[in-house]
Structure 1
Amino acid sequence: MTGSLVDDRRRALALVPVSRETQERFTVYADLLARWQRIKNLVSPATLPEVWTRHLADSAQIVPLAPDALRWADIGSGAGFPGLVVAILLADRPGAHVDLVEANARKCAFLREVARACGAPATVHNGRIEDVLPRLESVEVLTARALAPLPELLEMGKVLIDGGTTAIFLKSHGEVSDGVDLGRDYAARVIPSVTSLDGRILLLRRADLPKGSEA
């Protein structure tokens, strides 16, 4: 590991502490990402020197926002952020499972390789979001990162969100203001990211659901 990656790892773990076992799994993940990146553009090459902060910690910070949730689904999973990171963090939680939805077959191959190597409780679905989500059951949290503008995300996730699933979307400050207004249908909360000054985390749910149904 180069000096810059060591510094980035140290910075990331200071922002989002994880167990030693999770650190080891994240190291495997980062190594596989660097290896696959040579043949498949999984993330922006400029972010690789900061993979721990920009990708791993950025994704990991959302898990404490739904501490009791065991069933997660991630759409447009790409290189696995945040869904596969969530699965790694839940690896030792009985009953935990994350469904990863990705249309690109080669990215799905990468996701399966990382899940296998890290012992992550994840199922990779190679298909379109609108085809896969209606088949998923008991999903407590829906996630997405750098996938689409908010109105499109709401449309993509509507089948789950309207059924009681809480959505956690990683966005930029420019995409969701601190006082985002989604009308009467949805209740939303915007939380600053701990890994980026410009980053925001949007928690969203149906406004007409009982308070006790929140993740």
Structure 2
Amino acid sequence: MTEWAEEKYQSILQIVPTVSRETAGALMAFEEAVKKWQSHINLIANATLPELWTRHILDSAQLAEFKPQAKNWCDIGSGGGFPGIVIAILLKEQSGFHIDLVESNNKKAAFLRSVSAEFNLPTTVHTSRIETSYIHINKPKIITSRALASLEKLFELTQPWFEQGATALFQKGRDYKKEIAEAEKNWKFDFEVHQSKIDKQSVILEISKIDSRKG
């Protein structure tokens, strides 16, 4: 590895201590793929491109440490592959692992399919709205979402999967307490708050057993 690549490898080890050099190399190759496609379609905010490795890849990678033995994952609003593709790269060697990626934007879905093929990832890309994807995605164990919608809206979108026993890992920013308070007006749910390893103002909400208060 070059000195530059070695620094990145050491940084991912701080997040996922068991990651191999080969897997870290795949993450670096994915980083380059994002940069290449970014010139054609808006995968991430251009202002965050210089921080792609830390702000997007490492931030996504920390989710893989929560439930590494879970087989069936579902990432909604997958966009540029954060966190879905990053999780797929990290967990692809786990026996039986598979992740469904839901993305309604055709161009972004094409990107997801391209990198999934390039890195031989165990993914299925669904070019559809989340509300119409339930019939195709059965009983995911883990649901992930990053910068997609408010917590209350996420509950509305994912309730059918929670009813099948899913657990959610939702990445949230500084207003997460406000989002929890708003969601509690209409929903009952069990949750744990985990501090992000990347951004002190961000958290990961681990949520299970949601139930609507509306009856």
**TM class, shorter-chain normalised?**
0.7 to 0.9
Q: Structure 2 CA distance, aligned partners of 1:103 and 1:124?
A: 10
Say which of 182, 185, 200 aligns to 2:184: 182
Report deviation, 1:84: 1.2
Quick one: structure 1 residues 85 and 177, their matched pair in 2 at CA, closer, same or farther if it must change by over 3 Å? same
Letter in 2 for 1:188: F
TM-score by length of 2: 0.87
Comparing 43-52 and 90-99, the one that deviates more: 43-52
Task: Please tell me the root mean square deviation across aligned C-alpha atoms, in Å.
Answer: 2.5
Deviation per CA, 1:1-49: give whole Å up to 9, x if none. Answer: xx98886665454344422121111011101100000011110112222
Matched, 1:198 2:201: yes
Equivalent residue number for residue 115 of structure 1: 116
Change (3 A) 1:60 1:139: same
Q: For residue 161 of structure 2, what is the aligned residue in structure 1?
A: 160
Deviations 1:76-130 (CA, angstroms, capped at 9, x unpaired): 0000111111111111112110000000010011011111111211110001100
- Does residue 43 (structure 1) correspond to residue 44 (structure 2)? The answer is yes
- Name the CA shift for 1:11/1:96 in 2 (closer, same or farther; >3 Å): closer
Give 5+ residue unaligned stretches, structure 2: none
Moved more, 130-139 or 67-76: 130-139
Q: Would the alpha carbon gap of residues 42 and 207 (structure 1) be closer, same or farther in structure 2, given more than 3 Å must change?
A: closer
Judging changes above 3 Å, is the alpha-carbon distance between structure 1 residues 39 and 74 closer, same or farther for their aligned structure 2 residues?
Answer: same
Equivalences for residues 59-208 of structure 1 within 5 A? 59-176=60-177, 182=184, 185-206=188-209
The count of aligned residue pairs is 208
Matched residue of 1:57: which SS? helix
In structure 2, what is the equivalent of residue 212 of structure 1? none
Structure 1 unaligned segments of length 5 or more: list them.
Answer: 209-215
Q: Displacement of 1:174 after TM fit?
A: 1.3
The SS at the match of 2:85 is: helix
Q: Is the 8 A contact 1:182 1:188 kept in 2?
A: no
CA contact (8 A) 1:5 1:50 kept: no
Taking only the aligned residue pairs, the percentage that are identical comes to 39
- The two structures have a TM-score, normalised by structure 1, of 0.87
| Structure 2 counterpart of 1:105, one-letter code | N
Deviation string, structure 1 residues 137-190 (Cα, Å, up to 9, x no partner): 131001100000110000000110122100110001312369867377310111
Runs of 4+ in 1 over 6 A off after TM superposition: 3-6
Deviates more, 1:57-66 or 1:100-109: 57-66
> Matched residue of 1:189: which SS?
strand
